[in-house]
Structure formats: structure tokens, C-alpha cells
Structure 1
């Protein structure tokens, strides 16, 4: 009886060893991360950074809107708020399905979302009532203050491509309201109403930005301005490569560990690399999903067997027949997606590099 029990135990152990060996042969081991630990970022951040970037796209629309000579009272502030929260809903769902809850980042999005809701709500109410009245008294003619507001709006958007909003020098812009525009001139009601409004806006943002900047610097580490990527097919010659690309390590088989500038330049330079035949295998330690947005025609619909997942579609509210398309692709397919989505009928907008 004891011999029979020992035999059964040995048989069970042998079977488990066989199953373990079979599983190891069938299920490949996870690839080793090539990105140094200090340069890795959570994969959920490719999604969570979108709400921040929407608050670049919205001012960009506003800047173009003013440059085209349109009245601020006609800008769809409430429509942009709806788009912000709708997109965040999609982001919340996909990150909730895939990743652990990132309380710190969701809190930050909540703060900027609530503050933007208050700002846009106030702007919408003020411009619809007071601003519209003074627009009518000016007969559609822009004052020096209107032209300064359009200039500041464009400068602010250009700044946001590389720096956080709270570092923008609103104090200098406030000074310009009173030093670069005359105190008297045509359409005095509109002129002084704009001085009042721009003074209130720039002063409020200067104070709030100073507080946010102080809180951010005391609570968070200074963000890294590079994104590290592990790539294949890296060319031996540097001709045609971005000048600020940094090669950390190069392998004889064409693999390389490289560092690219973060934020807006990452989009441009990753496209340049894809055009040189470089294939991404890992970005900031991630190999699964990366988010891209493109601008597509308003009537665009996904073709049959389109290989990418569409996270959401939103119309560009101030530009006729355009919509923003948020696409999720595997990192290994990023080069192919960039080459495809940078051609008509698409316009590549941004790659969210975690």
C-alpha cells in the first residue's frame, strides 16, 4: 500500500513537471525591458495625458479663431468643456479596464478639469452678455486690445507645446495691456471693456499659475524632458536623424537605446525615425499600447479591417468638416501607423509618449 502511494506521488510530480515544461515551451517569457528603470513611465499615462493636451488644442482653436477676426463671444466654450469631459470619460474607462487606478494622475486631471470648467463657464457667460454688447458698439472693428488678445493667445499656445501653462508669464502680458495699447482711441466702450476683461484674466491666471507652480514644485519631481525608446533598424549614419536625438547604446544588429525630446517634439521626431525605417519596440518601458490623435475629414469612418482601435471621435468645433480621431496602436506597430496617419486624408496631431 505504501509503495502504491509513493508511486502515485511520483506519477503526480512527474505529470506536474511535464505540464510545467509544456507551458514554458508554449507560453513565451515576457520580453526583458530594455529601458532603464529610471526612464520608465506607466503605460496608463499615454491615455491620462490626453486631457492635458486637449487643454492645448482648445486654446489653439481659440487663437486661430481670434486671428481669423471672429468675435470671442462666438467661440464654443461650453462645447469644448463637453468634449473635455466626454474624452476623459473614455480615458477613465479604458484605464480602468487595463490598469490599476492612478489616483494621483486622476486627481490632477480633476483639478485642471474643474478649474477649466469654471474658467470657460465664466468666459462664456461674460462674453455672451457683456462682450457681445461691446462688440456691437464697435461695429465689428477690432480694438488694439482685441489685437493684443489674439497675439497673446497664439504666443500662449506656442509656449504650451513645450512648457506647463503655469510657467507662462501672464504678468508681462498684463503689463502690455496698459503699456502697449493706447488709453484713448476709437470705440472707447469696447476698448475699456477689453482692458478690464484682459486685466482680470491675466491677473487671475498670473496668481493662480504662481500658486499651482509652487504646489507642483513642492509636491512632484521635476519632469524629465526626454523619452527613452528601444528601437530596431537604427541607421548607422546619422544623416536625416533629429539633431537632438541622443544615442544611449547601439547594438551591432541594428537595435539601439535612444532618447528623444518629450512632448510635442516627440511626435515630429518619431515620424522622422519611422520614415528612415526605424521600428519602435519599447517606449518608456512600454510595449503594449500607445495613443495617437489625428485630424481626419468630418465624414471619415473606419475602413473595413482597419488595424487600429478607435478610442473616440470628436468634431473640431471651430473648423468645418474636421474631426479628432483618437487611435490606440501597439508600440510595435507605431512606425507603420505614423507613416499611414501622416498622409492624406489624415493630419498627424500628437503621439502621447507617456
Structure 2
């Protein structure tokens, strides 16, 4: 009887140990998922980088204009950075994901447009702009100061909206109605009036045509990105919506574009972890700004780097971050203002 009891006890202990081992070996499976109609391909986190570079570059230009004339801005080097980054994107996505022809077409269109624009600006400011700027400080005329303000307004706008929706005619009207026609540095004044009028008229016309073509060719993009997360706070950040909840799992809707970076950072700082973003659980790109030579964390390999051409010693690192580690990365840089530049939403 005692032997039978001991055999029974031994079998029970083995069973319990097996169950415990199985429970340890199998990770907890999520119960919430992004609905199929709201999922996006993982390749889009890569493909959005060239698009966002054309936000970063004007932002660098807007910062430059605060203290410097436009004549020395590295337009041609920025063209090179755009196409080099696109080359990295092609290499990373070729053969790994289905070809996203629509996105590649859009990148080529905006890349070619920017190449033409920056080439014209670079040549014009080298040959003509420097003559009118000669011996003058930055923002010496009302026209220069208006251009500086408009460039900042433009950057703030394109962080949340397509560039072709920007109202270029508004600044053009101000140029001819609000700035005095005569005053000091007359040569610079009238050269700037000519240059800015030409630029804003062309952009207004081209933007109108591109907007019509985009509306007729492409579907209207969704304004939110669905995210499966754990430990979301009761007071959700601005723009974040609760769609569903099961236990400590939450299906959230975060705003897209710059709003996604802001909302995800706010959630991470409140202890929220990310499990699935637009149906993806693997890689999401994050760009980090900082001094050269600082090593990234081991779990986030560098995709590529770019020097900040107007800020010697500074660089942009584009990191490939596992979705499950996004909260860890964001909190790693939480106390370094301006370090996290952008999270490349799908």
C-alpha cells in the first residue's frame, strides 16, 4: 500500500512539474489583435523614411534660416542624402517583402520634385543670391524675415499634412501687401521678392496639380493606427482612443504621422508596452538624433546613419527596433530632449 501511495505521489509530482515546465515554455498568447482590414505591411515602416526625410530636410533648413542666409545651405548634399537613404530602403525591402509599387512611385515623384527644387535653389543662390546677400547679415530685409517665418510654418504643417495642401498663396499675398516696397538694402529686397514670388507661385500650381492627381489615384489614407498594448493608463494621451480591452490588453487607436510619435512616447513614459502595431510584431524604424560615436542598444541595430549637415558632430541614427522593445527604447532616451526624432509608423 505504501509503495502504491509513493508511486501515486511520484506520478503526481511529475505531472505538476511537466505542467509547470509547459507553462513556462509557452509565452502568454495575446487575446487581442488588430482587425485584418486595419493591418499594413511591415515594409511601410521602411518606405516612410524617404517621405519623412522631406520633412527633416525642410526642418533643418528652417532652423538654418534663423541665423544664416539661405545661400550657404547644403542643398546638393541633402539631395544626395535623400537618394542614399532610398537606396538603403530598397536594399532592405527587396525580396523580403512584396513589392509596394504605389509607395515606390510616390517616393520617386516626391524625390524627383525635391531634386529639381533643391538644384534650382542651389544654383540660383550660388550665382544670384550671394550677390544680393553680399556683406549683409541673415534676415536683413522684411522679405527675408517673412521667408524665415513661412519656412517654419511650412515645416509645422507638413508634420501632419501633405505638403501640397499648404497655402503658398497666403505668404505670396503677404509678400506684396504687408512688406514695404522700399527701404534699406533695395537690391536684396527686390531680388528676394522675385525669388520668393517665383517659388511660391510654382509650388502653389504644382501642389494643386499633385493634390488632384493624388486624390484621383490613391485611396484616402486612414487617420489612425491600431495598436495592441499592455498596461495602458486610465487617462490616455491626447488623440489616443480605446477601442477594446481584455484584462491588461488594450486595442488602441493612435494618430498617424507625427501624432503617432508623440502618442507612443507619452504612452511609453506611463508604462505602456507595445505588442502589435498595425498588425506587425517585428520591426519598426525609429530615428534618433545625437552626437556621433554613441552606441545604440544591442536590441536595436542601426539601419543606417546620416550626418546632420548643418550641425557638425551631430548625426541621425535610424534604428530597427522590435515592436516589443519600443517602450524600452523610448524610455531609454526619455530624459534627453530632442533625441527621439521620429517613429516611422506603418
TM-score, normalisation: structure 1: 0.86
- What does 1:20-39 align with in structure 2 at a 5 Å threshold? 34-39=33-38
Other structure's SS at 1:98 match: coil
String of CA shifts for 1:172-230, please: whole Å, max 9, x gaps: 11111111111111111111010000000000000000000000011112111111101
CA RMSD of aligned residues (A): 2.0
How many Å separate the matches in 2 of 1:32 and 1:107?
A: 37
Paired position in structure 1 for 2:16 = none
* Alignment equivalent of 1:143, drawn from 141, 144, 147: 141
CA contact (8 A) 2:299 2:322 kept: no
Paired position in structure 2 for 1:326 = 318
Paired position in structure 1 for 2:64 = 65
Paired position in structure 2 for 1:20 = none
How many Å separate the matches in 2 of 1:165 and 1:95?
A: 26
How many Å separate the matches in 2 of 1:78 and 1:105?
A: 24
Instruction: Go from structure 1 to structure 2 and tell me whether the alpha carbon gap of 1:191 and 1:50 turns closer, same or farther (over 3 Å shift).
Output: same
Paired position in structure 1 for 2:108 = 110
How many Å separate the matches in 2 of 1:332 and 1:204?
A: 45
Is residue 204 from structure 1 mapped to residue 199 from structure 2 by the alignment? no
How many Å separate the matches in 2 of 1:297 and 1:226?
A: 33
Paired position in structure 1 for 2:252 = 258
* Alignment equivalent of 1:292, drawn from 277, 286, 292: 286
String of CA shifts for 1:41-80, please: whole Å, max 9, x gaps: 1111101011111101111111111112x11110000111
Paired position in structure 1 for 2:9 = none
Q: Structure 2: which 5+ runs fail to align? A: 1-24
Instruction: Go from structure 1 to structure 2 and tell me whether the alpha carbon gap of 1:180 and 1:272 turns closer, same or farther (over 3 Å shift).
Output: same
How many Å separate the matches in 1 of 2:139 and 2:285?
A: 42
How many Å separate the matches in 2 of 1:197 and 1:48?
A: 33
CA contact (8 A) 1:294 1:347 kept: yes
How many Å separate the matches in 2 of 1:164 and 1:346?
A: 23
Instruction: Go from structure 1 to structure 2 and tell me whether the alpha carbon gap of 1:342 and 1:312 turns closer, same or farther (over 3 Å shift).
Output: farther
Instruction: Go from structure 1 to structure 2 and tell me whether the alpha carbon gap of 1:198 and 1:345 turns closer, same or farther (over 3 Å shift).
Output: closer
Instruction: Go from structure 1 to structure 2 and tell me whether the alpha carbon gap of 1:273 and 1:170 turns closer, same or farther (over 3 Å shift).
Output: same
Other structure's SS at 2:127 match: helix
Other structure's SS at 2:134 match: helix
Paired position in structure 2 for 1:5 = none
How many Å separate the matches in 2 of 1:83 and 1:345?
A: 25
CA contact (8 A) 1:35 1:230 kept: yes
Equivalent pairs counted in the alignment come to 321
CA contact (8 A) 1:296 1:345 kept: no
Instruction: Go from structure 1 to structure 2 and tell me whether the alpha carbon gap of 1:31 and 1:258 turns closer, same or farther (over 3 Å shift).
Output: closer
Runs (4+) of structure 1 moved beyond 2 Å?
Answer: 30-33, 137-141, 298-303, 341-346
Paired position in structure 2 for 1:352 = 344
CA contact (8 A) 2:239 2:263 kept: no
Paired position in structure 2 for 1:7 = none
TM-score, normalisation: structure 2: 0.88
Is residue 155 from structure 1 mapped to residue 149 from structure 2 by the alignment? no
- What does 1:1-354 align with in structure 2 at a 5 Å threshold? 34-68=33-67, 70-136=68-134, 138=136, 142-235=140-233, 237-238=234-235, 241-251=236-246, 253-302=247-296, 306-344=298-336, 347-354=339-346
